Chains A and B, each alone.
Chain A
């Protein structure tokens, strides 16, 4: 479990260490539960709107990664959004989404280089990582049992990688 309780800032973001990810999909489950009404696994399953995960674990050649919105500095989705639903938070660097403005044109799906935005057919809006607004850390990072998901600065992440090598 991650002890780090940091939220997105200009220099802070969520990283995934591919060498540590074992594709257990705990992050997917935690993400879906966090975005349910009850925020509780047992109760969330029976909710009318089935809770949706906002990240995906996928693999190639036995190496897996947990992919979520990277809150890109130069975000192609924000450029492509023709309804003004997506924008950048000047202070934190987060890519924000206004569900009220989203019309489901899928321009963001078309341009996200990480495939981290998906279209919700039922609600007809785009769905992506919203950085867990209801908690002071991230559900995916907090529950990752191997420490593959990490929230912090780039330097901290790099330090973490080199430490492991020794």
Chain B
């Protein structure tokens, strides 16, 4: 009976535990987490702050998940080192846990900023439930909020606090928000929706110093002006928690290096989720895609390989979905190519924007603002690397949907192997 140990109990770790149990009723499965409360969805913390949901709804698996699946837990205990030779994990306090196969799903930590005064009270990142609880607890005394970062993470934070009726100021270094994702036009559609709902976007600016006593009450900006705020949220993305892997001698670059079976440089250790650097199908290079769907996918695949099933990972695709006051936005893959050789097909109007990035007639990226209906169909075309020459001219149309790709499903039937496509392949006659 093999001993499977998982470090990390969020998307990747929990998915792995579930898949392990589904495929091996007898295996011993132990999950370690530095948090006491697990099985909650980090991505929903901004919904909690916005007041859209309560803590109960944060839980993404039934509360009896561990018991039901006979999973041993070591919660509220941080794993501090791995000895690959002895095949053991040491926890804070000295407890050791031995393993046959280990999964590192330690996730990521929000990036902070290196600015004087950053240790003052009232300055937060949003990643763990404790942070969200503290923020919610102090909201009554907060009138103005400053959010650092104009990417999806920062804007999602800003949206949550705007929903609570706070005066929110988003401080963005770039000339417009979402600069990594869209051009100025599309960013304008989103910015105007945010501004209409009381969120002020301050572009071309950066925080220089946090001012105040124990608690922050002002930010000094790089143009010399000061901005009043009682709460600061740093929303600048995350960095992977790779320390435990590097000190164990595993190969680490941006994240933990894994092969297509999500195996690290040690044959008994696997990695998945925000900490793992996997093959990105759109970029055709290794990359960390710190996203919920990728983490679950990788957790599932890693688990199968821990059981010796040799399940290859097709690779990850970066993707995100946000809804700002009813304005829906989805981005996927390469959204702003920096090199030559890409074709951009786009269409914009006052309330919507669509952009497709193609390389050799295959879609490698997409941005949708407003009308997002076709997102999933396009995600399959990206993942499967389908030549879309024949439908290029209708990509931006509202009516672009699954029916429109039937000829492609038929033509490239070797790539649409899933059972669910077979009725189309069998009955569509061009």
B399 contacts A110, CB within 8 Å?
A: no
Which B residue sits closest to A150, measured CB to CB? B423
Q: A74–B47 Cα gap in the complex (Å)?
A: 28
Q: A58–B398 Cα gap in the complex (Å)?
A: 12
**Residues of A with C-beta under 8 A to B66:** none
Q: Within the complex, what minimum Cβ distance (angstroms) separates A14 from chain B?
A: 9
**Residues of A with C-beta under 8 A to B61:** 84
**Residues of A with C-beta under 8 A to B424:** 16, 18, 65
Q: A104–B372 Cα gap in the complex (Å)?
A: 13
Which A residue sits closest to B42, measured CB to CB? A82
Q: A103–B429 Cα gap in the complex (Å)?
A: 40
Partner of A74, one of B60, B372, B401, B418: B418
Q: How many A-B residue pairs have CB under 8 A?
A: 152
Contact size range, B: 35 or more
Q: A112–B328 Cα gap in the complex (Å)?
A: 16
Partner of A103, one of B47, B320, B399, B406: B47
A17 contacts B419, CB within 8 Å?
A: no
Q: Within the complex, what minimum Cβ distance (angstroms) separates A94 from chain B?
A: 13
**Residues of A with C-beta under 8 A to B319:** 110-111
Task: Assess whether B103 is interfacial by the CB under 8 Å rule.
Answer: no
Partner of A111, one of B379, B407, B419, B422: B379
Task: Assess whether A19 is interfacial by the CB under 8 Å rule.
Answer: yes
**Residues of B with C-beta under 8 A to A79:** 293, 296-297, 300
Most A C-beta atoms less than 10 A away, residue of B11, B296, B320, B423 = B423
Partner of B423, one of A16, A60, A81, A103: A16
**Residues of A with C-beta under 8 A to B420:** 70, 72-73, 113-114
Can you spell out 16 A-B residue pairs with CB atoms less than 8 angstroms apart? A16-B427, A19-B429, A58-B403, A73-B418, A74-B418, A76-B293, A79-B296, A82-B44, A84-B61, A100-B57, A107-B293, A108-B376, A110-B332, A110-B375, A113-B418, A113-B420
